[in-house]
Amino acid sequence: MNRKVRLGVAVCVSMLLAAFLVVATHADDGATYVGAAKCKMCHNKADEGQVWTKWQESKHAKAFATLKTDEAKAVAEKAGVATAPSEAPECLRCHVTAYEKDKPLPADIKMEDGVQCESCHGPESAHFAAAKKALADKSIPQVLSGAPKEETCKKCHNPESPTYKEFNFKSFSEKIAHPNPLRKAPKS
């Protein structure tokens, strides 16, 4: 190989690597949970769709509160769960982000916040750090999340839910949609 070709190969390889870095996803970044409160500062602008407020007003945000209702008590009784639903691992595992039986919740996750952003988008510490840095130097965050997949929803939307309603990825996604109109606008 002559010099020019070798340089060309090196440039291509580093461009490929850069492409991989940009699309880094949660599977490989070892990210941890930061909690929905930290998303609000950047994802709640009026002209960007008020994503945070949309979530806060959604049933997902109220999924823990639901477990304290009489309806939940009746559901638990029918399912043969003797503990109060808001303390029962059998219910909390789908009604609270990152809940795991016999494990403490991640420090920044509160039960009261129910099913938060990171249940669908995955742990966001890497995006959070990259976005804060990008905000400071007015660039674009180098770590994004990628769109949640049907499998992610089905970890909770499955027949193990005592109130299961047939899950349809498309129509259910439309019900919880929180698009950023600026992002969808054609780029000039």
Structure tokens at 99: 């809940």
Distance CA 27, CA 143 (A): 12
Residue 121 binds ligand HEC (CB under 6 A) = yes
Q: Are 75 and 85 in contact (CB under 8 A)?
A: yes
CB of 187 to ligand HEC, least distance (A): 12
* Binding-residue pattern over the window 39 to 78 for ligand HEC, x denoting contact by CB under 6 A: x-xxx-------xx--x--xxx-xx--xx---xx--xx--
- Cα distances (angstroms) measured from residue 167 to each of 47, 138, 146: 31, 40, 21
CB of 111 to ligand HEC, least distance (A): 13
- Among 5, 147, 186, 187, the residue binding ligand HEC under the rule CB under 6 A is 147
- Among 24, 31, 126, 131, the residue binding ligand HEC under the rule CB under 6 A is 131
Distance CA 171, CA 150 (A): 12
Distance CA 114, CA 112 (A): 5
Closer CB to ligand HEC, 85 or 106, in the complex: 85
Q: Are 106 and 115 in contact (CB under 8 A)?
A: no
Closer CB to ligand HEC, 3 or 101, in the complex: 101
Torsion of CA 58, 132, 125, 22, to 10 degrees: 100
Structure tokens at 86: 């808001």
Residue 24 binds ligand HEC (CB under 6 A) = no
CA nearest neighbour of 95 among 147, 173, 161: 161
- Among 95, 106, 113, 126, the residue binding ligand HEC under the rule CB under 6 A is 95
Q: Which residues bind ligand HEC (CB under 6 A)?
A: 34, 36, 38-39, 41-43, 51-52, 55, 58-60, 62-63, 66-67, 71-72, 75-76, 79, 81, 85, 88, 90-91, 93-95, 115, 117-121, 124, 127-128, 131-132, 135, 141, 144-148, 152-153, 155-158, 160-165, 172-173, 175-176, 178-180, 183-184
